[in-house]
Every structure is written in C-alpha cells, then in structure tokens.
A and B are shown apart, each in its own frame.
Chain A
Amino acid sequence: MKEEQTLRFTSLGILLTLLPILIFYRIVSLQLDPEIREPILDSLIQNQNENRKIVPVRGEIVDRKGQLMASNQRSYEVGIDLNRLVSPHEVALALNLILGREVRDLEEDIAWAQEKGYNYLVADDFVSQEQIDKLDEWIKKTEASNDPKEAISLRGIRYSKHLKRSYPNQKLAANIMGFVGWEDKKEEQSGIHGVEGYYNDMLAGKVYRIKLPRIPDAAQDINLVPEGASLVLTLDREIQAMTEDVLDHNLKRNGSDSGTIIIMDPLTGEILAMATTPRLDPNRYWEFLDEYPKGVSFNQAISQPYEPGSVFKPLTVAAALDSGSITSDFNYVDQGVLEYAGAYIYNWNRGAWGPQDLLGCLQHSLNVCLATLSTKHMGNDVFYDYMKRFGIGHKTGIDMEGEISGFLKTPNEGYWHESDLATNAFGQGLTTTPLQMAMAISALANEGQMMVPHIVKSYAQLGYQTDIDQRIAGVPVRSETARMLTDLLTQSLVQEASDALVPGYSVAGKTGTAQFATESGYHPYLTNASFVGYGPVDHPRFLVYIWFEKPQSSPWGSEVAAPVFSELVQKLVVLMDIPPDDIRMKLLGQ
C-alpha cells in the first residue's frame, strides 16, 4: 500500500515538474522564433495603431491688393454608424428632409451596407453649417423625448467637419481661378483649370498617411503638416470686376456670341484683368457641363484660337521695318487688289486707296498694303522668322492650366500654301489666342521686349514669401522699331478720330475685323471684331486686348470694339491712379 502510494506521488511529481518545463519551453520557443513571433507582433501593432490621412489646408489665393479670392469653408460629411442604427426608416426620413436625399435610396443603401457588414455609410458630403445645425437640433429634440422609442429613433447619425474650397467673390474672375473638384481616378479633390489647376500641387500641399498609436502611453508627437502654399495674384479685383462689367454690358449691346478682354502690364507681363464669357460660379463647379457644353472653352483668352484679322497688321509692319525690308518712308500706290500665288487680295471695302505710306496702311487697315509688304519686300524667310519671334503659333507660357498654342503654318509644312504669305500678313489663315496677340503687341509697347504673361506674383510657403521672377519671352524687334510702330499706331487713331481715343490720354491702338472662319470657308457676314491698344504711349502702364465673337450690331472692330477700349480705359486710369498726360507731365516735373 505504502509503495503504491509512493509510486503515485512520484508519478504526479514527475508530471507536475514536466508540465511547467514543457510550458516554459513552448513560451521561450514562441518568443524566440521570428517566424512565429513576427505575424503575431504585426497583427498586434496593426491593432495598436490607427491609420490616419492628414490632408493639409489648401493654400489661399489673394489678389495683388491682398483681397481674398479663394479660401476654405467649413463643410460636413454626414454618415450613419450602422452598429448604432436602430431605425433606418426614421433616419432616412430625417436625412431626406434635411439633405434632400431620397428616402428609398437611403434605405436601400443602408440595407446594402448592412448586408456587406460595413460599420459606416456616407450619406452625404459638403453639407452646410445651416443644415448641420438643423440636423443637430432635430437629433437633440428626439433624444430628449419621453417616448423611449422616439428617443433612439435617430441614433446612428454622425457628422464630421472638414474643409471645402470657397470662392467669396463667386463668379468674379472664375475663368482665371478655375475650381477644385473631383477628377477621375484621383483620391483627393484637385484643382481643375486656371490657377487652381496650374498650381494644384503647391496649393494642395502634401497628403500624409501616418499611424497613430491607440494606446495613450505610446502617443507620439506628430510633426505639423505644412499648409499648402498661398498665392498672390497679379490680378486686381476691382479692375477685374470693372472689366467684367464692361464686357457684359457691351455683349448685350452688340449681341456678340462671346467676348474676351485682357488687361496686362506690357512692361512686366502681369495680367491685371482677364474677363471672358461664359463664367461659372466655382462654388458650384458641378454645373460645369451646363455652362460649358462641348466646344466651349473655360477661358477663351488662353484656349480659344481664332483668326485675329487686322490687329495683326502692326506685327507685319514691325517685321518689315525691323528687318530692313522697308524704311520708315515707305510708300506705294494702292490699286485695291493684289494677285499672289493664285489668290486675290482685296481691301476691306474692295476700294483702291491710291498713294499710301505706312501711316495710311495702318490707319485705313489696307490688306493689299500688308500683303505687298510680306510678299514683295520680306518673303517667306523673313516674315515667318519674325512671326516666330513674336511667339505666333506657340504658347505664351502663362501660368494657367489650359493654354493652347494657336496655329501658324510655315513653308516647311505640307499644308502651307504660297498664298498664305499674303493672307497671314493681315491676320488671316492663321489662328492665335487673344493672349498670344496681347503678348506679341506688348513688344511694341515695351521697347521691343516681350515679357511672359503671368498671373501669380508671389507665393508664401513654409512661412516664407517668394516673388516670382518676371521672364523675358523674347526681343522680336529693336527698340527704335517698337517706338516707330507706337508713333504710327498713335497717329492712326488720332487722324482717324477713332472711337478708341481717350480724352486727355495718349493711346496707341489698332482695330481688327476678321471674317469668321467656318469648316466650309469664311462666313459671308459674321466677323470677329477686335481692338488692341496701350497707353500712355510715353510710359505704357496698360495694354488692353478686346475681342467680340460674331457681333450683331455691326461687323466692324472700329464700331464694336474700339468704343469699348475708350470706355474701359476711362475707368481703368481711375483705378490705376494714372493722371491725364498734361497733369502727369506737370507732376513729373515737380
């Protein structure tokens, strides 16, 4: 009996000794073997941390005087916590009344999300503060109810705050600003068109994805995510508003399909205003397709090619003078028609103007004169070389998304015809954008030097503001040639007693009327009416380019666009603090 007991105790003792040894061995082996340990540790770390995406605040955009043009507004995402949801129908009803979502759609979405086993369903986004206030009030009211069923009826509704892009001035400068919206296959909203599109990466900043520990004693310091860069535009909000106002009421007056006005500083290339139609309220960017059906450009100033017509003529005259093909005392007898390479070139009134000099050519806008200069005096090489120097057929390089290059055929290209040399000389048979024309003419206002047009003056990033350097686009003509053209363009306006003249101010300018090109040739009576002008001529502070598409009141640029120049400049000089010439000279003498 005693021996038997001893055996039992011994066996039990051995068992109790071996068991802890085995357990200890297993613990140690589990801890030491990386193949076993790593997956366990990974899942532990994964559960310890919360994945968070930190989206920096998008940079602001202000005009040249610091007025806010684009900022960020409070907005809310409304969702449903499916684990806490009690009454899908009541929740759907509430969200229908506040957010306008269909009850049936919401109920179907909830049922689908529950079936998939999701915890959370987004009901709506970009919900306004007012809607959230209403929703909040409603939720609180139901929670305070004495009826326990009603008290929990809206349980599960959640909302979280975030920012959305906001444009305080609504449609003002909308074509310049662009907007922030969703693009295909992009996880974040991004800038589309205009400044928002071009500077999207800078404005948006860098999105960070970090792992935040859930347990408090493992909390780490998160480096502050820098905000996106803020931009200072060259644009002047007051000048832009005035320009849009002048454009809009003149569009109504002359019945044009669309219009564009650009105001730039010819000495720096800074864009002071750029008004085009149609304009979209960027706060309601989802109406884009209503405002811009297929074929309508977001910003005609940079992305709508057209045949500029006679506003092009100063470039041809400048090329002829600068190349030495003619001298300033050039004259010829206008016979009203020129035959070249099988094409017949006529003047705008089909008349013969007799003996003419350069001033007469520009003042009367004689096509035959310009075709004579290009075909008989310059030739292909000189003419097209100068057109390239003026940037025709190339993008200007403006810092806005959506610029196109226009189209200039050259002799080396298969579809160029010899007669193009004659028609191109007066701005037909080629296309440019209004901005390209403005930049090319700015060379005449700025001693022969063309500056790259730009819309951003400086940017602030990481607490430091950087001015953007002005860039020279080229020097197509000598300063003497530029001054000569300025004199000719000033005199031609004065002698013509043009409607473009501005009392008290010396301005240079040129009208343009181009037949409207269609797929089957030129339209018999529809035109593009333009005017380009700058002043004061001794020290130009502004260059204005005006284009009306298919005006109804008159086909002529001199009747449609020239008076708009005068009206606009009379307001512009007040906003830009430019005194009349006589006062300015006196003030300069003080």
Chain B
Amino acid sequence: MNRQNQINQAYQKTPWRSQTQLLVPFTLLLIVVGVVAVFFLNVSASAASKGREIQDMQATIFALELENAAFQDDLGNLTSLDVLSKRADRLGFVEGSLDETDFLVVQGYSGPQSPRLASKERPEITPEPELPSEYTESILSWLMRKFDEFSYSFYKVQP
C-alpha cells in the first residue's frame, strides 16, 4: 500500500508542473507574437525607408528636369545668333558675298538635313503586367479591405 501510494504520488501532477504546462504555451505564444512583431516592424521600417527614398528620387527627377531644361537654354544662349556673330567678328570672319562664292558638287551631300529631336520610329509600348491586388497589398491594407467589406455587408443586411 505504501508502495502504491509512492507510485501514485510519483505520477500525480505537482503544482509546479501544472504551472509549467501553462507557462510553456504562453511563452511560445509570446515568442510567436514577438517574432511576428519583429518581422512587421522590420518590413514596415524597410517600406518607410524605401518610401522616403522614392520621395527623394522623385524630388531629384523634378530637379533634374528643371536643370536639364535650363542647361538647354544655356546652350541656346551660347549658340544664339548674336553671340556667334560677335565671336565670328572677333575671329576675323566676314560675311561672304555672291561674287566671292564658288559652288561645288560634293558627291553624296544633299544639303543640311532636318534636325532629329526624337526617333522617327514609333516606340513599341509594352503593356505593364497587371498583378492582382493580393500580390501587391500589405497585410494591413488587406485587413483594412476585409474590414471594409465586412462593415459594408453588415450595414447592408440591416432592415
């Protein structure tokens, strides 16, 4: 009997064992939540950082567009007729008259060509692949969308 009591006691749950049994799942849950939180923070921090980079790049694009246009203008000023005429005068060039002009045939030369500002070939426009929203939205937006759908459906069924 005494021996049986000893065996029963040995297999009986001790209070610390019950507490441990509760603590382990709780700890595991905490770890999972922590890991998810770390991932979420990491992803959202990275998204914020990339977002800031995109904003910076957009600002740079606008600034470069302005600069590019302004450089074209600088070039236009440097090659303006007035500037070039003065430069030609300084270098001792004089305007040629008809009497001083000799005409030659240069084989293969057909006179000044019309300037090309862009390609003559129409560019082929490749349609951008359209991804369904499930592939592009974040978990938060997905949750928001689902919540919206739910709330609207909830209000629809009201009498």
Is residue A521 within 8 Å, beta carbon to beta carbon, of the partner chain?
no
Interface 1/0s, chain A 132-173, versus B by CB < 8 A? 000000000000000000000000000001110010111010
Is residue B126 within 8 Å, beta carbon to beta carbon, of the partner chain?
no
Is residue B111 within 8 Å, beta carbon to beta carbon, of the partner chain?
yes
Is residue B48 within 8 Å, beta carbon to beta carbon, of the partner chain?
yes
CB contact under 8 A between A68 and B75, given known A34-B151, A219-B55: yes
Q: Which of B82, B97, B114, B154 has the most CB of A within 10 A?
A: B114
Q: Which residues of A contact B152 (CB under 8 A)?
A: 34
Query: Residue B73 contacts which of A31, A72, A232, A574 (CB distance < 8 angstroms)?
Result: A72
Is residue A32 within 8 Å, beta carbon to beta carbon, of the partner chain?
yes
Q: Which residues of A contact B123 (CB under 8 A)?
A: 462-464
A232–B72 touching, CB < 8 Å: no
Interface 1/0s, chain A 198-238, versus B by CB < 8 A? 00000000000000110111111110100100101000011
A219–B54 touching, CB < 8 Å: yes
User: Nearest CB to that of B147 among chain A residues?
Assistant: A31
Q: Which residues of B contact A162 (CB under 8 A)?
A: 66
CB contact under 8 A between A587 and B105, given known A216-B55, A573-B98: yes
Q: Which residues of A contact B119 (CB under 8 A)?
A: 463-465
B122–A464 touching, CB < 8 Å: yes
Q: Which residues of B contact A220 (CB under 8 A)?
A: 54
A221–B98 touching, CB < 8 Å: no
Q: Which residues of B contact A212 (CB under 8 A)?
A: 55
Q: Is the interface of A mostly helix, strand, loop or mixed?
A: mixed
Query: Residue B103 contacts which of A54, A170, A579 (CB distance < 8 angstroms)?
Result: A579
User: Nearest CB to that of B63 among chain A residues?
Assistant: A161
Q: Which residues of B contact A172 (CB under 8 A)?
A: 81
User: Nearest CB to that of B80 among chain A residues?
Assistant: A168
What interface size band does chain B fall in?
35 or more
Q: Is the interface of B mostly helix, strand, loop or mixed?
A: helix
A161–B66 touching, CB < 8 Å: yes
Interface-facing stretch out of A56-64, A77-85, A333-341, A359-367? A56-64
Q: Which of B58, B63, B152 has the most CB of A within 10 A?
A: B58
CB contact under 8 A between A574 and B96, given known A71-B76, A465-B116: yes
Is residue B118 within 8 Å, beta carbon to beta carbon, of the partner chain?
yes
Is residue B47 within 8 Å, beta carbon to beta carbon, of the partner chain?
yes
Distance of A461 Cα from B120 Cα, bound (Å):
11
Q: Which residues of A contact B52 (CB under 8 A)?
A: 216, 219
Distance of A237 Cα from B116 Cα, bound (Å):
17
Is residue A33 within 8 Å, beta carbon to beta carbon, of the partner chain?
yes
B49–A463 touching, CB < 8 Å: no
Query: Residue B155 contacts which of A32, A62, A169 (CB distance < 8 angstroms)?
Result: A32
A578 CB to nearest B CB, Å: 9
Query: Residue A216 contacts which of B51, B62, B98, B122 (CB distance < 8 angstroms)?
Result: B51
Is residue B115 within 8 Å, beta carbon to beta carbon, of the partner chain?
yes
Is residue A103 within 8 Å, beta carbon to beta carbon, of the partner chain?
no
Distance of A213 Cα from B61 Cα, bound (Å):
17
User: Nearest CB to that of B112 among chain A residues?
Assistant: A65
A91 CB to nearest B CB, Å: 26
Q: Which residues of B contact A463 (CB under 8 A)?
A: 118-119, 123
Query: Residue B76 contacts which of A32, A54, A166, A219 (CB distance < 8 angstroms)?
Result: A166
B69–A232 touching, CB < 8 Å: no
Distance of A349 Cα from B142 Cα, bound (Å):
94
Question: In chain A, residues 84-99, which have Cβ atoms closer than 8 Å to a Cβ of chain B?
Answer: none
B97–A570 touching, CB < 8 Å: yes
Distance of A121 Cα from B122 Cα, bound (Å):
46
A31–B151 touching, CB < 8 Å: yes
Distance of A460 Cα from B115 Cα, bound (Å):
11
CB contact under 8 A between A62 and B101, given known A33-B155, A68-B79, A170-B82: no
User: Nearest CB to that of A170 among chain B residues?
Assistant: B82
Distance of A574 Cα from B47 Cα, bound (Å):
65
User: Nearest CB to that of A576 among chain B residues?
Assistant: B111
Is residue A111 within 8 Å, beta carbon to beta carbon, of the partner chain?
no
B79–A241 touching, CB < 8 Å: no
CB contact under 8 A between A73 and B73, given known A162-B66, A216-B51: yes
Is residue A457 within 8 Å, beta carbon to beta carbon, of the partner chain?
yes
B81–A72 touching, CB < 8 Å: no
Q: Which residues of B contact A573 (CB under 8 A)?
A: 98
A265 CB to nearest B CB, Å: 13
Query: Residue A574 contacts which of B51, B63, B79, B101 (CB distance < 8 angstroms)?
Result: B101
B73–A166 touching, CB < 8 Å: yes
Query: Residue B114 contacts which of A31, A57, A457, A579 (CB distance < 8 angstroms)?
Result: A457
Q: Which residues of B contact A232 (CB under 8 A)?
A: 114-115, 117
B81–A163 touching, CB < 8 Å: no
Q: Which residues of A contact B20 (CB under 8 A)?
A: none
B48–A71 touching, CB < 8 Å: no
Q: Which residues of B contact A215 (CB under 8 A)?
A: 48, 51
B55–A224 touching, CB < 8 Å: no
User: Nearest CB to that of A214 among chain B residues?
Assistant: B55
Interface 1/0s, chain B 116-149, versus A by CB < 8 A? 1111111100000000000000000000000100
Is residue B29 within 8 Å, beta carbon to beta carbon, of the partner chain?
no
Distance of A571 Cα from B98 Cα, bound (Å):
7
Query: Residue B121 contacts which of A72, A168, A464, A583 (CB distance < 8 angstroms)?
Result: A464
B97–A219 touching, CB < 8 Å: no
A224–B61 touching, CB < 8 Å: yes
B47–A465 touching, CB < 8 Å: no
CB contact under 8 A between A72 and B69, given known A168-B77, A169-B80: yes
Q: Which residues of B contact A570 (CB under 8 A)?
A: 97-98
Is residue B60 within 8 Å, beta carbon to beta carbon, of the partner chain?
no
Sampled A-B contacts (10; CB under 8 Å): A32-B155, A34-B155, A64-B115, A212-B55, A216-B52, A219-B52, A463-B119, A465-B118, A583-B103, A587-B103
* B interface list, Cβ under 8 A from A: 44, 47-52, 54-55, 58, 61-63, 65-66, 69-70, 72-73, 75-77, 79-82, 96-98, 101, 103, 105, 111-112, 114-123, 147, 151-152, 154-155
* A interface list, Cβ under 8 A from B: 31-34, 37, 54, 57, 60, 62, 64-68, 71-74, 161-163, 166, 168-170, 172, 212-213, 215-222, 224, 227, 230, 232, 237-238, 241, 457-458, 460-465, 503-504, 570-571, 573-574, 577, 579-580, 583-584, 587, 590
